[in-house]
Chain A
């Protein structure tokens, strides 16, 4: 029975690592992430076959049990995940703002352009009294 659990866990570790290793934005970040993933995979596979190893490490760093060590590692990685996601979200928002603004400005009418061509036409006929509408210039 133990071997089934071990196989399932190893598969999960391998799949998870593959998903994380694929793609990303910044080349430097991606490299760091890939190293972390490899370390994680090695540690996970080792701990599947030698479950006591994790507890030994935990005792070494003064954290009672291996599960506690896992919990702490999980919390830290979750916080890192939150902050990177937050940053990426902000970047996306900035991109969306730029895009939206560009669309809005491109589609907007520009009355001064027609006013100016109108003025030129008026100037041609010797009448340039176009500023009278500007009550507060």
Chain B
């Protein structure tokens, strides 16, 4: 009973905050609600025994990505944003598309059957600690994708500098 209540709290708050994020007029308010949303999602990850993912959710999403969003919002100085309308003219079409896709996905989820379970049971993770168990899989089986991820980050660093810099006058 108590886990279901806990999940219910998180589900209601996450849905409510998501709706708040996409409907606020002021982008700064959206960023602040998103900060609260990321902390709630991190709490949900803790509830699912994924401590390391919860930690990097808070550090990378709430600490890095949202600060980047906040910087850009403050840089653009959007005084007139508060007076203009928020949605494009054809927003009912977007609502129909999203609601239709949601109906399809929820109906598909009903017929879901689980695959056989793997070896990483809760007892195994409790003995090995979560970060160690995750690191062992990441650095053996997924070493090559891990190296590619570092390359993607390098491309992002260089690309962001090249795109955002002003043109040099010679």
The judgment on whether A and B are partners is no
Residues of A within 8 A of B (CB): none
Residues of chain B touching chain A, judged by Cβ–Cβ distance below 8 Å, are none
